[in-house]
Chains A and B, each alone.
Chain A
């Protein structure tokens, strides 16, 4: 098929065909597909990545600011680069130390977790808080006696 044939084939699909009842019905079907939604966890993760990008961009700007007038400062600039871009200290595996695992997101996630926890406690106020919710799902078999504290409701006054 040459280009002219291809073009004429394409042009045969004109607006009249596209506006036919059947075609428009399909358009309505697709249009009415329910909207998707992303979780707050996704958004939180994106926010963290964007903040990390901002940090990287700022470092780059700082790097350039020093490099331009750096004609006689070769060694100092190299040291500045080394100080700014030094690799994260990696723990040498020795007895009693946990394994070094490459977890690119764990640090950001810990900060996010603390932040979310703080907000959740703040929001919960006197009400049910996230830990109480989690405790709720940790089912432990009922024991009527013999806890490590030795307490039971019979021993103490209630509020």
Chain B
């Protein structure tokens, strides 16, 4: 409608400018200093943000998300002391013997069967920080509502429900009101289908933690980087070993080969320090940019597209198309186009 009604479009744009600058609706509590990202959040969420950076605990949680389109569930034990993290896995499970340790600079993941340590960028519990940033920017309007939550891991929680401007619930967080630890989290899509989440089954908030726990040392273990893993995956499957330049501000976090709708795809996932995510798809066949545009638009995603050396490339993410073009420029030879 907006495309075909300039007057309405102008009116709406003006309304949007006024609205975004004035209030972080519906949290109308700005008296005093100008709103920063954290000032706009309810106390329990602020507490959870602080806890995500500083808390010490040992806890076991069950995590569920979709992997290759199929729901996947696993259990992990997290030992955390501020920015130091260690992840262990149950004996006898698929990840038995693997260990992940992380500090503010680096993440290392040990695979005993390969005697290999993968060196990766550090991960963070970005969820709340991203939410805080989005609210602070006023780009998206969220409705936060609070209610008493259920008992989780023997701890009474406060429930925070995050809904979009249409009232669709996008997340539920169950937070320990004393420590600020998020004990349970659920994410939902536009039609209310659960997309993933986690739930702690036991937690020790006053643990004794040996500093040596955050060290892994295995003689003779091979150290590999994400770029090496990408080259390995690409070579194995007949794809081109192409990655986004580090100057893009996005670091390669992982590479997978998959069959999507019968088509072989190399999928590289990237993250930035601000928590933005991009995916670079490399396909052995063409895709229709027109059709891709229709689907991407529904999810508020942008993409750029190019072809070369017998492959198609799609770089997709939630950032603006011009930025995507700039990022793709060096590896597309300037041939990338915005999806239309």
Contacts and interface: CB of A to CB of B under 8 A. Distances in A.
Direct touching of A and B (C-beta under 8 Å): yes
Contacts of A158: 108, 215-217
Interface residues of A, number: 74
Interface string B12-37: 00000000000000000000000000
B193 A97 contact: no
B116 interface: yes
Contacts of B301: 111, 114-115
Contacts of B94: 133, 136
A120 B296 contact: no
Contact of B269 (A86, A108, A121, A133): A121
Interface stretch (B147-155, B158-166, B202-210, B287-295): B287-295
Interface stretch (B43-51, B135-143, B309-317, B319-327): B309-317
B103 A89 contact: no
Given A154-B220, A158-B217, A159-B214, A107 B123 contact: no
Contacts of B223: 147, 149, 151-153, 156
Interface stretch (A7-15, A25-33, A35-43, A70-78): A35-43
A110 B126 contact: no
A110 B316 contact: yes
Contact of B262 (A103, A113, A134): A103
Contact of A103 (B263, B281, B314): B263
A98 B312 contact: yes
Given A40-B70, A111-B296, A98 B115 contact: no
Contacts of A105: 261
A127 B198 contact: yes
A50 to B, nearest CB: 7
Interface residues of B, number: 113
B284 A98 contact: yes
Given A48-B295, A123-B198, A153-B117, A148 B72 contact: no
Contacts of A82: none
A42 B288 CA distance: 23
A117 interface: yes
Given A48-B295, A142-B114, A123 B101 contact: no
Given A51-B298, A114-B279, A149-B223, A40 B193 contact: yes
Given A51-B298, A96-B308, A139-B113, A113 B267 contact: yes
A101 B287 CA distance: 8
Given A110-B281, A122-B126, A139-B114, A159 B307 contact: no
Interface of B: 1, 4, 61, 63-72, 74, 76, 78, 80, 85, 87, 89, 94-95, 98, 100-103, 106, 108-109, 111, 113-118, 123-127, 130, 185, 187, 189-191, 193-198, 214-225, 228-229, 231-233, 253-256, 258, 260-263, 265, 267, 269, 271, 277, 279, 281, 283-292, 294-296, 298-299, 301, 307-312, 314, 316-318
Interface of A: 39-41, 43-44, 47-48, 50-52, 55, 62, 86-91, 96-101, 103, 105-136, 138-144, 147-149, 151-154, 156, 158-159
